[in-house]
Amino acid sequence: MANPTAKPSLTQLDGPSLFAMFRAAMAVLESKAEAVNALNVYPVPDGDTGTNMLLTMRSALEEADKYATGTATEVLAAMAKGSLMGARGNSGVILSQILRGLNKSAQGKPHLTGRDFADGLEQGSKQAYTVVTNPTEGTILTVAREAAAAAKAASTDGGAPAAVLQAATSTAKTTVARTPFMLEILRQNGVVDAGGQGLAYLFEGALAYLQGKAPMETAPKAAKSAAIGAGDSRQKAAGSYGYCTEFLVENCKAATEQVQEKMLALGDSVIVVGDGGLVKVHLHTRTPDQAEAWLKSVATIAKKKIDDIDAQHTEYSARKVAAPQGVVGVVAVVAGEGLADIFRSLGAAAIVPGGQTMNPSTQDILKAVRGAKQTAVIVLPNNSNIIPTARQAAEMAVDKDVAIVPTVDLPQGVAAMMAYSYEADAKENLAAMQKALKAVKTGEVTTAVRNAIVDGLAVKRGQAIGMTGGRLVAATSDAGEAAIALARGMGVEADSAVTVYYGAAVSRADAEELAARLKREFRQAKIEAIAGGQPHYQYLLSVE
């Protein structure tokens, strides 16, 4: 194990210094891995370039750990081998090629001069171009090449390793900044190239070490690899991204060109690299099993990793539209799948199913409150009968800071949700949500369960009745009629927004017909019909 505080030689790098330098490089990449991941645009918009490069470096350092006190040759040979074994993703493979180049230039040398280092970078960057099927400028390849050229120039008159790395680092940084000018997809996405950025961070970390500024970070951790058991058959249809497939094969009888050709026939993003029978294969394919079967016929498979890109993509898409996690979590009691979706889409952290005639227990609400990631939680009972239960749950949740916005119906709950801000704290949210309740009026259409005379209207059992503000305003044979009468009684104005949530028992066609009638009657108002899916109430009307 190298002494982390060992002062690197000014003119030459020995094995321990190299090892410590690479660890410092990895530490910087590690601290920036998430930021690098965020830069990725292809094929999964929210990619994993930073993670891939980091795991590649870890694998290299794990291997080199045994030679940490050895010669430069030993350290770099181990780094090259470890990175080839552990390379993940395109950028990881390219990174492993750069380490391989360094290894070649270190052959038989106990120390590396600045010149050796520059030569190694140059070899590595050249090598990197050959392993990618379609070398593209504006990527990590360009960054590696230009950094190597700068390093070379700085080394010609006997530049020390630190001076050579200084040149490589500053060029890497400016090249990264230029990548959006070279690659349209980067420009469109407003990002720099992720792999190039990752490489620049590695240079930065290495340079900081050589300048005596690098703090030593954690020891290399074991790389995680999601291995998939043999025998699972996978096949994907056209139009899908397929599987990101990687194999490490040993005793390969086929030439790398032959492997490359075969893999190209099966997929794209093909990278085939290898030495002395040890070959690393990366491709995106819809038929990974075919690739595996063929490789088995020419070599022994030592390691494989098959990731479903579509699953990653779907997960990404789902995450993208999911509401951000707020400072305050909202727990809403909601009846009806449609309405539950609406609350979720507006940012509710949890839904407790329940409402009229099916009040949730204190325990149900408490469980949701406790399950929220946030300490501060606001509960929307959305029914007057549920408010006491919610209050009780709030008192019992001693480890949380719970407040209730006493919404008595679902439209009030939606209005409160509209006012919810994920950035605001509990106090601000409470004030905004309470205020929002005043701006909404609710009407309900349900079926009379018995004969009665209410508010001067005779109601027969089975009739559709419309109520608002505790007042019966309509009793008729048809739910749509009752809704129209209700809307008239609720005072829809020119600038009102009227939302009709139609219940589980109402067809979409009926709801749309009602919306059309409301539009004819209240021409200036905004009318929207939404599937609420609630039981008991054919229609819930919200007038804002």
Partner 1 sequence: MALKIVTDSTCDLPKSLIAELGVTVLPCNLHIGDKTLLDGIDITSEEFYKRLAQGGPAPSTSQPSVGAFLDVYNKIGRPGDEILSLHISAKLSGTYNSAFQAAKEAQTKAKIAVVDGMTVSLVLGILVREAAKIAKQGGTLKQATDFLAREIPNIACYCSVDTLEYLVRGGRASRVQGFFGSLLDIKPIISVRDGEVHPVDRVRTRKRMLARLVEMAGEAKGLRALGVMHSACADEAAALADELGRHFPRKEVLICEFTPVMGAHLGPKAIGMGMWKGEAA
Residues at the site binding partner 1, with contacts judged by CB under 8 A: 177-178, 180-181, 187-190, 320-324, 338, 341-342, 345-347, 414, 418, 421-423, 495, 497, 499, 526, 528, 530, 544
Rounded distance between C-alpha atoms, residue 144 and residue 126, angstroms = 9
CA–CA distance, 85 with 359 (Å, rounded to integer)? 58
Q: How far is the CB of 207 from partner 1 (least distance, A)?
A: 21
Q: Which is nearer to partner 1, 190 or 470 (CB)?
A: 190
Nearer to partner 1, 316 or 451 (CB): 316
Please list the alpha-helical segments (H only) found in 211-336: 256-266, 288-298, 309-321
Distance CA 91, CA 176 (A): 14
Are 125 and 105 in contact by the 8 Å Cβ rule? The answer is no
Smaller CB separation from partner 1, 98 or 186: 186
Question: Which residues contact residue 355 at a Cβ distance below 8 angstroms, ignoring those fewer than 6 apart?
Answer: 333, 334, 335, 336, 382, 383, 386, 410, 534, 535, 536
Element (H, E) at 532: none
User: Minimal distance in Å, beta carbon 390 to partner 1?
Assistant: 24
Q: Which region, left, alpha or beta, applies to residue 116 given φ > 0 means left and ψ of -120 to 50 means alpha?
A: alpha
Least CB distance from residue 340 to partner 1, whole Å? Answer: 10
Nearest CA-CA partner of 502 in 540, 455, 456, 461: 540
The nearer residue to partner 1, 256 or 421, going by C-beta atoms, is 421
In the complex, minimum distance from the CB of residue 324 to partner 1, in angstroms, rounded to a whole number: 5
For tokens 């701006």, name the residue: 439
Our CB check for partner 1 shows the closer of 68 and 426 to be 426
> CB-wise, 485 or 540, nearer to partner 1?
540
Q: How far is the CB of 270 from partner 1 (least distance, A)?
A: 28
Closest approach, Cβ 497 to partner 1, in A, equals 4
Kindly state the smallest distance separating residue 181's Cβ from partner 1, in Å.
Answer: 7
Pick the closest to residue 168 from 207, 129, 215 (CA basis).
207
CB of 323 to partner 1, least distance (A): 4
Q: Which is nearer to partner 1, 309 or 530 (CB)?
A: 530
Q: Closest approach of Cβ 191 to partner 1, in Å?
A: 9
Q: Write the single-letter amino acid at 286.
A: R
Give the nearer residue to partner 1 in terms of CB position, either 181 or 268: 181
By beta-carbon proximity to partner 1, the closer residue of 160 and 417 is 417
Report, in Å, the least distance between residue 174 CB and partner 1: 8
Identify the CA nearest to 78 among candidates 66, 90, 88.
66
- Which residues does residue 304 pair with via DSSP β-bridges, in sequence order? 247
Closest approach of partner 1 to the CB of residue 411, in Å: 11
In this structure, the dihedral spanned by the alpha carbons of residues 259, 145, 218 and 60, taken in order and rounded to 10 degrees, is 30
* Residue 389 vs 429, nearer CB to partner 1: 429
| Residues ≥6 apart with Cβ < 8 Å to 96 | 56, 60, 80, 83, 84, 87, 273, 280
HEC per residue, 142-160? HHHHHHHHHHHHHHCCCCC
Please identify, using beta-carbon distances, which residue of 319 and 520 lies nearer to partner 1: 319
Task: Give the pair of three-digit tokens for residue 530.
Answer: 């939404």
DSSP tag of 40:
-
Our CB check for partner 1 shows the closer of 294 and 422 to be 422
Distance CA 157, CA 163 (A): 11
Q: H or E segment at 246?
A: strand 243-250
Shortest spacing between CB 180 and partner 1, in angstroms: 6
HEC string of 499-524 equals: EEEECCCCCHHHHHHHHHHHHHHCCC
